[in-house]
Amino acid sequence: MPTAPLNTARSELIAVGREFDARGWTPATSGNLSARLADGAIEVTASGAHKGRLTEADFVTIGANGRTAGGRQPSAETALHLQIYASFPDVGAVLHIHSPGAVAFTRAFPQLSAWVLEGHELLKALPGLTTHETSVTVPIVANDQDMTVIAGAIEARLQATPRPPAYLIRGHGLYGWGRDVAEAERVIEALEWLFTAELTERQFRAGAPP
């Protein structure tokens, strides 16, 4: 089970928050970031925390017993983070963004229940892949104000073989994860680039100007 010391987890999540904010992926106070600690607890950003200006005080610890510590409310989407950790013991970090690319892609193609990526060189940035001659399926589920509804919609699809590296919530954003914060960040970066590449490709195919 990948874990990180408390101070390391917080410093890495603070750095990622600043990077994602600079890229416009966590506007206002959107998005949430978490990491698994050595004792099995989860460190997650507090509700309402601006990801570009995170400090040590902007985190909440969710203990293995489910109790919270830190004096603040955890992100409203903490349950979705906990679901991923429970599903994948080898996951050490979960990152969630509200990027224009993720939102635009799912809104532009409302008929899609999954995004299938094929033939891209950048697929090799995703965990376990060593060739572009493959395909990766990223599930898409409907948005809902009730996190238990989203969790129920994605549960079975998290168990698919091969397992997905991420999933999309339509009109909402992207969840990605990895063995540590660095790997989870790489998954998010790669998928964001692929959103842009595929949306641009569709524009060219439709005859739209670049």
- Alpha helix (H) ranges present in the chain? 6-22, 78-87, 100-108, 147-158, 181-205
Angle made by CA atoms 190, 122, 92, in degrees to the nearest 5 = 45
| Confidence (pLDDT) at 209 | 54
Query: Does residue 10 fall inside a structural domain?
Result: yes
Judge if pTM exceeds 0.75: yes
Q: What digits encode the pLDDT tens for the residues 13-49? A: 999 999 999 999 999 999 999 999 988 899 999 999 9
For residues 202 and 58, give the distance between their C-alpha atoms in angstroms, rounded to a whole number.
40
Residue ranges of the chain with per-residue pLDDT less than 50: none
Q: What digits encode the pLDDT tens for the residues 78-98? A: 999 999 999 999 999 999 999
- Residue 18 belongs to what domain range? 6-205
Query: Does residue 175 fall inside a structural domain?
Result: yes
The domain that holds 186 is classified in CATH as 3.40.225.10
Structural domains in the chain (count): 1
| Confidence (pLDDT) at 184 | 97
Both tokens assigned to 79:
């349950």
Query: Does residue 50 fall inside a structural domain?
Result: yes
Mean pLDDT taken over the chain:
90
| Confidence (pLDDT) at 146 | 95
Percent residues over pLDDT 70 in the chain: 95
Residue with tokens 């600043």: 18
DSSP string, 169-193: ETTTEEEEEESSHHHHHHHHHHHHH
